[in-house]
């Protein structure tokens, strides 16, 4: 199995479409896009500046994850973080270690970047705890949301950081954008 790391802006069309399909298969509550394939590819490639995609490949896409830079605001000042999102593994590949390999590749990229910490939400905190992550208990808001700036932009129950030994600030955290 090979893990490919590709900037989102350079992801080939077939991989972009496969990643989109895997996201819909993983989170079926998300409605399928009504856009054309070309529009879906363009949207995928333009998700955010600096986004990196990770693909677990053999004959086909087995798993997928992304990291991306973001600046968040704390009571102590702004922090440049990496977000981790879209971690998904095909149904037939679950339990094979692919998810772990994808997340480890993402964290290696964080370790070699100019950011010191990765912030993400998850429904499987025990998985991430084994990978040197820890939960944080802050209140999260999105002050860029004109309708409800104090609403938590995350939807999963567990918010975590990597690495676990990072000195995470207390208090309210402005995610400075939508949840991921």
Give the pLDDT of the chain (180 residues) as one tens digit per residue: 899 999 999 999 999 999 999 998 888 776 667 889 999 999 899 887 889 999 999 989 999 999 999 999 999 999 999 999 999 999 999 999 999 999 999 999 999 999 999 999 999 999 999 999 999 999 999 999 999 999 999 999 999 999 999 999 999 999 999 999
H or E element that contains 122: strand 118-122
pLDDT at 30: 65
List the one residue out of 91, 172, 82, 94 whose CA is nearest residue 133: 82
Residue 29: its pLDDT value, please?
Answer: 72
Q: Rounded to an integer, what distance in angstroms lies between the CA atom of residue 108 and that of residue 62?
A: 20
Q: Which residue is it, tokens 């990072």? A: 166
Q: Where are the domains of the chain?
A: 2-174
Query: What is the model's pLDDT at position 28?
Result: 79
**pLDDT reported for residue 71:** 97
Which pTM value belongs to this model?
A: 0.91
Write down the pLDDT at residue 123.
95
Residue 161 · residue 134 · CB < 8 Å = yes
Domain 2-174 has CATH 3.40.50.300: no
* C-alpha to C-alpha distances, 61 to 58, 168, 169, 171, 176, nearest whole angstrom: 7, 35, 37, 40, 32
């Amino acid at each position: 199995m090979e893990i490919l790391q590709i900037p989102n802006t350079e992801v080939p069309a077939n991989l972009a479409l496969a990643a989109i399909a895997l996201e819909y298969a993983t989170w079926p509550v998300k409605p399928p896009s009504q856009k054309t394939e070309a529009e879906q590819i363009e949207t995928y490639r333009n998700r955010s500046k600096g986004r990196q995609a990770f693909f677990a490949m053999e004959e086909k896409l087995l798993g997928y994850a992304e990291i991306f830079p973001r600046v968040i605001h704390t009571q102590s000042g702004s922090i440049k973080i990496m977000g981790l999102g879209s971690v998904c593994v095909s149904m037939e590949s679950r339990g094979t270690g692919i998810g772990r390999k994808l997340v480890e590749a993402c964290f290696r990229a964080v370790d070699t970047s100019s950011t010191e910490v990765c912030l993400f939400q998850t429904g499987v905190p025990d998985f991430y705890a084994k990978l040197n992550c820890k939960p944080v208990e802050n209140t999260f808001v999105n002050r860029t949301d004109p309708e409800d700036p104090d609403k938590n932009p995350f939807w999963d129950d567990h918010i975590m950081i990597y690495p676990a030994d990072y000195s995470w600030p207390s208090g309210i955290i402005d995610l400075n954008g939508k949840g991921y």
